[in-house]
Amino acid sequence: MLDFDNVSAVRGTTTIWSDGTFTVPTGAVAGVIGPNGSGKTTLLMMILGLLRPGSGTIKVLGQVPQRGDSRIGYVPQNYASIAGDSIRARDMVLLGLTGATYGMRRTSREQHARVDQILGEVGAADFAGRRMSQLSGGQQQRVAIAQALVSNPQMLLLDEPLANLDVRNQQEIVALLARINTERGIGILLVVHDLNPLLSVLDGAIYLLDGHAHYDSVDEVVSEELLTHLYGTAIKVVRTAQGDLFTRSA
C-alpha cells in the first residue's frame, strides 16, 4: 500500500521529520500516531500528492503520489464544516462522482443508483435526504466515508475520523471501517490520537518519534516504553484476561 524510502517531510526550510523508510502492506488497516505538531497531517498530504518529500521516494499503491488520484478516498478533518450547512447528505456523496464543486451538473441514473447503494452500505440511507447541518457527528462521518467510497477507491485516508464522537459512535465507525476493509479489501490509513478504539482492527501504525517516521505491527507499537516516549507522559499498556489490549495514563 505504501513504500517510503529515506523520506523526509520539509515545510519551507524546516524539516519536520526524516529517515522515513518503511512499507505498509497492501490491504492493511494502519494508524498514524504522534504528538501534536509531529507531522501527521503532513504525511497525509505527501501521500495525496499535495506535498513533495524533501528527500527520498514515496510509492502509493505502486506509483509516485499524484494530486487527485482516484484510487484514494480521502476524509479530511472537520468534514461537516467543509461541506457547508445547506447541502443534503445524498448530494454530498454525489460530489464524490461528479467533482468537488457545487452548481448545476448533469448526472445520470447510474450515478444516483451508485450513491444510493453506497449510502445503504454505510448505514446512511435513512438520513440521505437531510441537510448535513442537521446530522449528528456519527451520521456526518458515515456520509464522509460514503463520499470517499463512492468512486470505488483502493485505499482510504481518514484524518481524525473519531474526533468529537461519543463512545458508541466511535465503536460503530470502527466496526464500519473494519467491514469495509474485510469485504472490499481496501487498505485504510487513519490519523488518530487515541489508539484504544482501533486496537481490535489495526494491523500496524506509522509513528512519528524523535523527528523520524517508523512503521511497525500493532503488537510492537503498543508498548509502554514506546508510547511513553512518543507522548512524553507515562502510558500503561493493559492486557485483559480475554487477550484484549488497551492503553491508559499511568
Query: What does pTM read for this prediction?
Result: 0.91
Q: What is the DSSP letter of 243?
A: S
Average pLDDT over residues 59-84: 87
pLDDT of 119-149, one tens digit each? 999 999 999 999 998 999 999 999 999 999 9
Q: What is the pLDDT confidence band of residue 77, given thresholds at 50, 70 and 90?
A: confident
Of 210, 223, 206, 230, the C-alpha closest to 24 is 206
Q: What is the pLDDT confidence band of residue 249, given thresholds at 50, 70 and 90?
A: confident
Predicted local confidence at residue 229, as pLDDT: 93
pLDDT of 91-103, one tens digit each? 999 988 887 545 5
Q: Is the pLDDT at 48 greater than 80, yes or no?
A: yes
Q: Is the pLDDT at 108 greater than 70, yes or no?
A: yes
Strand partners, 188: 29, 156
Q: What is the pLDDT confidence band of residue 250, given thresholds at 50, 70 and 90?
A: low
- The domain ranges of the chain are 1-71+153-223, 79-151
Q: Return the exposure string of 55-84: e unless at least 16 CB atoms fall within 10 Å of the residue's CB, then b.
A: eeebebbeeebeeebeebbbbbeebbeebe
**Distance separating alpha carbons of residues 52 and 49, to the nearest angstrom:** 7
Average pLDDT over residues 30-45: 94
Share of the chain above pLDDT 70, in %: 94
Strand, coil or helix: what is 200?
Answer: coil
Q: What are phi and psi of 169, to 5 degrees?
A: -70, -35
pLDDT of 144-201, one tens digit each? 999 999 999 999 999 999 988 999 999 999 999 999 999 999 999 999 988 999 999 9
- Does the domain spanning 1-71+153-223 belong to CATH 3.40.50.300? yes
